C-alpha cells in the first residue's frame, strides 16, 4: 500500500495528512529519546501502547468537556486527529517534586507540593526547550493573554481529573507535559488539547511502592521499560489481548 509523505517526523511520532480535510494521522513509533535526543533507543511495543493510552485519556477528558484534537483510533499505531496549529509552549504540571525541578532547585525527589505548579517551556529543540515565564510568552507573542488563561484553566482541570483517575488504579501522577493547538473554523479559532498523553510525557509512580512506571526507566537505565508501559496500559484496561502482544512489535 502506498503511503502519503509525512508532514512532520518527530522523536516519537510521525504525522501524515489525514483522510478527511482538516485532519492529520498521528503514527506512534517505538523510538525513544531523552535529554534532547542525546540518548536514543527503542522501547518494543511502546508505539502501540502509547496509541491506546492516549486514546483512553483523550476520550475520558473529552467526556468531562476538555476539547481535544483526538477524533478516533485507526489501528494499533495510528489515530486520526484534528489538524491544528501547535502553540509553541510545553505546559508542565507538577504535583510532586521530581526531574528537572528537583535538580534546578536542589530539592529531594518525592516531596509533595502544597499545590500543583504549572511551568512553561518554549518548544525549541535547538535551545533545549528553555523554561520561560508567562511574561516571555505574552511579550514574544507565542500566545495571547486569553489563550494562556484558557490553557492554564484546562491544564489544572486535566490535572485534577487525571490525579483521581490514576489514584483509582494505584498510581501517583507526579508530573506531566501537555501541548495545545489552535483549530480554525472559518474566522473562529478555538484551543484544543493536542499531542499525546502517555508514559513518555508524564511521571507515574506506583502508589504503594513508588516504583517508576514511565519513561524515567529509559532515561535512567532502570530496566523493565517495556513492562512498565504494559503495566500502565493493563491498569487502565487498554492492554491489547495477549494474542495481540506479538503484534506490538510489528508495524501495525
Residue 51 vs 201, nearer CB to ligand TMP: 201
Q: How far is the CB of 129 from ligand TMP (least distance, A)?
A: 6
Residue 90 vs 231, nearer CB to ligand TMP: 90
C-alpha cell at 102: 528537583
Q: How far is the CB of 11 from ligand TMP (least distance, A)?
A: 9
Q: How far is the CB of 120 from ligand TMP (least distance, A)?
A: 11
Residue 175 vs 226, nearer CB to ligand TMP: 175
Instruction: Kindly indicate which of the ranges 13-21, 70-78, 159-167, 198-206 contains the residues binding ligand TMP, using the contact rule CB under 6 A.
Output: 198-206
How many CA atoms, within 13 angstroms, populate the side-chain half-sphere of residue 81?
32
Chain positions 21 to 80 lying near ligand TMP, rule: CB under 6 A, are none
User: Does residue 202 belong to the site contacting ligand TMP (CB under 6 A)?
Assistant: yes
Instruction: Kindly indicate which of the ranges 141-149, 201-209, 226-234, 237-245 contains the residues binding ligand TMP, using the contact rule CB under 6 A.
Output: 201-209
Contact characters 127-166, ligand TMP, x per CB under 6 A? --x-------------------------------------
**Binding footprint of ligand TMP, residue count (CB under 6 A):** 12
Map 150-186 to HEC letters: HHHHHHHHHHHHHHHHHHCCCEEEEEEEEEEEEEEEC
Chain positions 163 to 182 lying near ligand TMP, rule: CB under 6 A, are 175-177
Residue 6 vs 10, nearer CB to ligand TMP: 10
Binding residues for ligand TMP, rule: CB under 6 A, are 92, 98-101, 129, 175-177, 201-203
Amino acid at each position: 500500500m502506498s503511503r502519503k509523505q509525512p508532514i512532520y517526523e518527530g522523536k516519537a511520532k510521525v504525522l501524515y495528512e489525514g483522510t478527511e480535510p482538516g485532519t492529520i494521522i498521528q503514527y506512534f513509533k517505538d523510538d525513544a529519546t531523552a535529554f534532547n535526543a542525546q540518548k536514543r533507543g527503542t522501547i518494543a511495543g511502546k508505539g502501540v501502547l502509547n496509541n491506546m493510552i492516549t486514546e483512553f485519556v483523550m476520550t475520558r477528558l473529552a467526556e468531562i468537556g476538555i476539547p481535544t484534537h483526538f477524533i478516533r483510533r485507526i489501528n494499533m499505531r495510528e489515530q486520526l486527529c484534528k489538524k491544528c496549529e501547535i502553540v509553541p509552549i510545553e505546559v508542565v504540571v507538577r504535583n510532586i517534586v521530581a526531574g528537572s525541578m528537583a535538580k534546578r532547585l536542589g530539592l529531594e525527589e518525592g516531596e509533595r507540593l502544597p499545590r500543583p505548579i504549572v511551568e512553561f517551556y518554549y518548544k525549541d529543540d535547538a535551545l533545549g526547550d528553555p523554561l520561560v515565564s508567562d511574561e516571555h510568552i505574552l511579550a514574544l507573542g507565542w500566545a495571547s493573554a486569553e489563550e494562556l488563561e484558557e490553557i492554564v484553566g484546562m491544564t489544572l482541570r486535566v490535572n485534577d481529573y487525571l490525579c483521581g483517575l490514576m489514584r483509582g488504579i494505584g498510581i501517583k501522577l507526579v508530573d506531566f507535559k501537555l501541548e495545545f493547538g489552535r483549530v480554525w473554523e472559518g474566522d473562529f479559532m478555538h484551543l484544543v488539547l493536542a499531542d499525546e498523553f502517555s508514559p513518555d510525557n508524564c511521571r507515574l509512580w506506583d502508589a504503594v511502592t513508588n516504583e517508576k512506571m514511565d519513561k524515567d526507566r529509559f532515561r535512567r537505565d532502570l530496566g523493565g521499560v517495556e513492562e512498565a508501559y504494559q503495566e500502565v496500559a493493563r491498569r487502565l484496561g487498554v492492554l491489547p489481548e495477549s494474542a495481540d502482544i506479538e503484534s506490538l512489535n510489528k508495524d501495525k
